[in-house]
């Protein structure tokens, strides 16, 4: 496996980046990686972009910012934020897992800015990246019981693609540790549905 492995999680404040980077980092640590997570979330509750950088290595401890063009995997909770992160950190080697459901910026809602056609935007990424996988994580999470669990669906998808070589069981064990008991079953269900969605895409 490539070392270091660099992941970007890109989304909007309130979409649950922080929990996801905690789950990914703990799962990676559990299988022996040295882990660094860099997060910027100071103003995130105010509807801004939130990105987390997760860096895994067997050899060394890496810094909290991924160099330009060096992401191996981008998990995008929102199309425009995915494209924003990809334009900085993507390359022809990057695999992108994206939730295609938009969260409109306030400038778009106010009619000042335009939101791009999602298929055109993601199509451009597809042309120049190794892979772009659509995971309808908000829709899947709604089926699982609550659309806010789209972040857990995306973790399931990442596990299903097995880009990190972290066993499914390890993810489930960490989810049991970090998710409150009363919503644990819902979250496990969301994780499994994300996992299955990715497995299906893997065999296409």
Partner 1 sequence: MGWKDVIEGRPGEKVLLNGNEAIARGAIEAGVCFASSYPGSPTTEIIETLAKVPAGEIYTEWSVNEIVALEGAAAASFAGLRAMCVMKSDGLNVAFDFLTSMNLGGCKGGLVVAVADDPQGHSSVKEYDSRYLAKAAMVPVLEPSNVEEAKVMVIHAFELSERIKGPVILRSVTRISHSRGLVVLENQLERNRTAFFPSGECFLTKTVFHMKARDRVKKAAVVLEECGLNFAEGPEQADTAIFCSGTSLLYAREAVNILGINGDIKLVRVGTTFPLPENFIISQLRGVKNVIFAEEIRPFLEEGVMLLYARNFDHKVRFFGKLSGDVAGARGSSCGEMNVDIILKALDCVKGIHYDKPGYPPDKIEEIKALIPPREYAMCPGCPHRASFWAVKTAIAVDGRDCIVAGDIGCYCLGAWDTGFNLFDTLHCMGAGPAIAGGLSKLGRFGLKRPALTFVGDSTFYHAVIPGLINGQYSDSDFLCVVLDNGVTAMTGHQPHPGTEITVDGVAMNKILIEDIVKGFGVKCEIADPFDNNAVTEKVCEMLREPGVKVLILQQECALVSGRKNRHKKRVYVDQSLCRGDACGCSRFCTSVWGCPGNIWDHKAEKAAIDEAVCAGCGVCASLCPAGAIVVEGRG
User: Where do contacts with partner 1 occur on this chain (CB under 8 A)?
Assistant: 12, 21-22, 25-26, 29, 34-43, 45-49, 60-65, 67-70, 80-81, 83-84, 86-87, 89-93, 104-116, 120-121, 124-125, 127-129, 147, 178
> Of 106, 128, 132, whose CA–CA distance to 119 is shortest?
132
How near is the Cβ of 83 to partner 1 at its closest, in Å? 5
- State how far the Cα of 141 lies from the Cα of 155, in Å rounded to an integer: 12
The DSSP bridge pattern shows strands 49-57 and 5-12 to be: antiparallel
Nearer to partner 1, 176 or 200 (CB): 176
Nearer to partner 1, 56 or 154 (CB): 56
C-alpha neighbours within 13 Å on the C-beta side of residue 71: 31
Nearer to partner 1, 104 or 165 (CB): 104
How near is the Cβ of 178 to partner 1 at its closest, in Å? 8
How near is the Cβ of 18 to partner 1 at its closest, in Å? 9
C-alpha neighbours within 13 Å on the C-beta side of residue 134: 12
Nearer to partner 1, 93 or 143 (CB): 93
Contact 40, 106 (CB under 8 A): no
Contact 72, 94 (CB under 8 A): yes
């Amino acid at each position: 496996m490539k070392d270091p492995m660099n992941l970007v999680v890109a989304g909007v404040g309130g979409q649950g980046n922080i929990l996801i980077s905690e789950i990914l980092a703990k799962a990676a640590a559990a299988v022996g990686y040295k882990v660094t997570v860099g997060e910027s979330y100071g103003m995130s509750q105010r509807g801004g972009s939130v990105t987390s950088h997760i860096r895994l290595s067997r050899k060394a401890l890496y810094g909290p910012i991924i160099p330009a063009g060096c992401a191996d995997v981008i998990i995008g909770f929102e199309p425009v934020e995915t494209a924003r992160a990809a334009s900085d950190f993507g390359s022809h080697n990057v695999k992108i897992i994206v939730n295609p459901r938009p969260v409109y910026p306030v400038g778009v809602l106010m009619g000042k800015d335009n939101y791009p056609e999602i298929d055109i935007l993601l199509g451009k990424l597809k042309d120049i990246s190794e892979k772009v996988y659509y995971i309808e994580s908000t829709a899947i999470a709604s089926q699982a019981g609550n659309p806010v669990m789209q972040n857990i669906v995306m973790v399931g998808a990442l596990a299903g693609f097995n880009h990190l070589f972290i066993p499914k069981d390890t993810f489930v064990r960490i989810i049991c540790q970090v998710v409150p008991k009363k919503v644990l079953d819902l979250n496990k269900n969301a994780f499994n549905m994300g996992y299955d969605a990715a497995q299906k895409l893997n065999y296409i």
